[in-house]
Amino acid sequence: MSARPFFTVGVPTFDRAHSYLTHTLKALLRQSFADFELLVSDNASADDTEGVVRSLGDPRVRYVRRAERMSPGAHFAAIAREARGRYFVLHQDDDLLHLEFLKRAHEALCAHPEAVIYAAPIWRETPNRGYVARALRPREGYSDENLIADRVYLIDGVHAAAKLFDSVLHFVHPAIAINSDRLGEVSGYQSGSGYSVDLVTQALVLMRGPLVYDPRPGGIFRVHPGNYSRTMKRAVRKAFYRQTYVALMEAFEQSGADWQAALGAYLATLQSEEIMECVHQWLYYRAPVELQVLGMECLARAWPGSTAGLYRKCLSRIGLRNLARHWLSRAGW
């Protein structure tokens, strides 16, 4: 490992020494690209996390223990500040990276040094369906050749940031490598933005340059009963999504970018059924009314059939209650 490694893979962990952590760390140490440090940050665990980490006996591993448990945003921010690598990979302690992820990221970032983020799709386990992943389509169009030819492509950063309003996330941690200098320029992870800290931080970084996107799957998001997303109560989930939408809008405004223009351009790359799903999510989670209005307008433009057919489809897919709340919000009620 060099004095300043090409990558820091930061692993925040809490009380998973005897479940997922060992498998995750051993898999990371099998990466085909070796110039990285593995920074394991123990968030005041009560189990034998330190013993498990030190037993790996690999000089690339660095262990840090927090004296008191930190919030997710503050923990991510602390790890990023302590990272030594040129690029930072935030890796949950229960997920897995493809064994050639760092190699592919290194090749892509060296070929496209202007890119501020390298990303790949993450495979997600879906009950009764196996694993699924979706590739992000660039504004200029997408060809399946990109996937079968192992071809990466650049996507405008603002366009990629607009994609984060879509609940179908095409690039998420751990299959993301962020330029550490650009991350520092936006003051690191935005620790005040709750559980949406990663999305808000990615948006701010993407305002500073393009995304180099690799359509080959980059890792696996492991689904299990302990996932935070699976344990959220409905009211908490709704508040989380609404806060995320507001935080993303603020990130655009903070960067001087027009979120409505960028999101409209992103939605124009989708099929009407995909836009319908976005609108459904925005209405169900009570997103800011201007986001709901933009979605409905884009859906109307993209819909291939009659207006009456669109209304019938909205009633069946979005639901009368969500539509009623939308129209009441537009009326200022």
Mean predicted confidence (pLDDT) in 292-298: 96
In the chain, domain spans: 7-231, 234-330
> Tell me, what DSSP letter sits at residue 144?
T
Tokens of 10: 């930061």
Predicted confidence at residue 193, as pLDDT, reads 56
pLDDT at 163 over 90: yes
Share of the chain above pLDDT 70, in %: 94
Contacts of 87 (CB under 8 A, 6+ apart): 6, 7, 8, 105, 109, 118, 177, 178, 179, 180
Of 60-64, 229-233, 296-300, which range is least confident?
A: 229-233
Mean predicted confidence (pLDDT) in 286-312: 94
Summarize the chain as % helix, strand, coil (round to 5): 45, 15, 40
pLDDT at 65 over 90: yes
> Would you list the DSSP string of 272-307?
HHHHHHHHHHHHHTT--HHHHHHHHHHHHHH--S-H
pLDDT at 224 over 80: no
* C-beta neighbour count of 224 within 10 angstroms: 10
Give, in order, the Cα–Cα distances in Å from 45 to each of 12, 55, 68, 90, 209: 11, 17, 9, 19, 37
Predicted TM-score of the model (pTM): 0.92
Predicted confidence at residue 314, as pLDDT, reads 93
C-alpha to C-alpha distance for 42 and 11, rounded to whole angstroms: 8
Share of the chain above pLDDT 90, in %: 71
Predicted confidence at residue 100, as pLDDT, reads 97
Nearest to 30 by CA among 101, 106, 112: 101
Mean predicted confidence (pLDDT) in 70-93: 94
Nearest to 288 by CA among 237, 233, 229, 244: 244
Predicted confidence at residue 266, as pLDDT, reads 92
Give, in order, the Cα–Cα distances in Å from 73 to each of 1, 54, 61, 304: 28, 26, 23, 42
pLDDT at 60 over 70: yes
Cα 101 vs. chain centroid, distance in angstroms? 16
In sequence order, the β-bridge partners of residue 309 are: none
pLDDT at 141 over 80: no
- DSSP, collapsed to helix, strand or coil, labels residue 268 as coil
Confidence of residue 125 (pLDDT cuts 50, 70, 90): confident
Predicted confidence at residue 18, as pLDDT, reads 87
Q: What is the mean pLDDT of the chain?
A: 90
Predicted confidence at residue 133, as pLDDT, reads 79
C-alpha to C-alpha distance for 310 and 284, rounded to whole angstroms: 18
Strand 153-155 to 211-213 pairing: antiparallel
* C-beta neighbour count of 316 within 10 angstroms: 9
Nearest to 199 by CA among 275, 40, 90: 90
C-alpha to C-alpha distance for 113 and 88, rounded to whole angstroms: 15
Q: pLDDT digits over 182-207, tens only?
A: 999 999 987 765 668 899 999 999 99
Q: Is 179 left (phi over 0), alpha (psi -120 to 50) or beta?
A: beta
C-alpha to C-alpha distance for 141 and 86, rounded to whole angstroms: 31
Domain 7-231 coded CATH 3.40.50.620: no
Mean predicted confidence (pLDDT) in 209-235: 81
- Are 116 and 208 within 8 A, CB to CB? yes
Cα 162 vs. chain centroid, distance in angstroms? 12
